[in-house]
Structure 1
Amino acid sequence: MKKSLAIFSALFMLTSAASASPVADRQALMKDIGRSMGVLGPVMKGDKPFEAESVQAALEQLKADAIKMNAETMFPKGSESGDTAASPKIWEDAAGFQADIDHFRTATAAAADAKPQDVDALRVAMKEVGASCGTCHQAFRVKK
């Protein structure tokens, strides 16, 4: 019984610690998005061959990551300082920021749901995803 309680307590502490920093949470999510883009980008450029299974997995991961993106929990007031590339504009224009998140969600869902079967179809599916990333990064990310 004591061993079970100790294990439960340790897991609870680890879970709490993992979610203790919105900055770390959003950086981890952005890195995950970057990994998916790292799979898709070289395929779209023609540097890597189109493999439907890996492309679809990356698109599904983008879609899942977009769903996880939450302005209130990942960008709460007070999390604008420290080691972050988040622009103060996020908190000054919360509605605009949320609109960009919504656009990203819609674009990634459409790309994943399109299930592209060749590189040309992937490029079409990713056009709006790329546009949504660029728009948000231009407006709401500090360039380092």
Structure 2
Amino acid sequence: MKFRTITLATAALCLCFTAVSAKDAVVEKRETMMKQIGGSMGALAAIAKGTKPFDADAVKTAVSTISTNIKAFPDQFPAGSDADSEAAPAIWTNNADFRAHAAKLGSDADMILAAMPTDAAGVGKAAQTLGANCGACHQTYRLKK
């Protein structure tokens, strides 16, 4: 009887750790995706400001990363993954609008990819467009910690 109780308690504890670990992995994945988007925006800003030389391949890589990540990003918020992150509760209560913000950023990134900037000024305009999308979404859907 004692062995059975210990076994059941151990199994329950393992299941709890697995659930917490899976939740942490979801939060970590979406934070990694957003950091990649932020790094891409930083690369575009450096070219736009002239602190880095214009590099068409770097621009394409940055905008492609933004496009790819933002399209998958809204699916990284399953129910119950709201703790210990900078995600605002509005993501879950107003998910359609959150997804619309992500879709707008994705479509703007795709438009930029279709007509790639050819100089730093063009990269600056692209960064402004993408940055406006980022800012609009962050105002509502990101907690400031």
Number of aligned residue pairs: give it.
Answer: 125
Match status 1:99 vs 2:103: no
* 1:69-102 deviation digits (Å, cap 9, x = unpaired): 2x2x3011100112x0000111111111111111
- Higher RCO (C-alpha under 8 Å, 6+ residues apart): 2
Structure possessing the higher radius of gyration over alpha carbons: 2
* 1:86-140 deviation digits (Å, cap 9, x = unpaired): 0011111111111111111111111222211101111222322111100000110
Cα contact 1:110–1:125 (8 A) shared by 2: no
Consecutive unaligned residues in structure 1, runs of 5 or more: 1-16
Pick the aligned partner of 1:77 from 55, 60, 79. Answer: 79
Match of 1:89 in 2: 90
Cα contact 1:44–1:123 (8 A) shared by 2: yes
Match status 1:41 vs 2:42: no
Cα contact 2:43–2:62 (8 A) shared by 1: yes
Q: Percent identity?
A: 35
Q: Secondary structure of the residue that 1:76 maps to in structure 2?
A: coil
Give distance in 2, aligned partners of 1:62 and 1:19: 24
TM-score by length of 1: 0.78
Give distance in 2, aligned partners of 1:111 and 1:35: 17
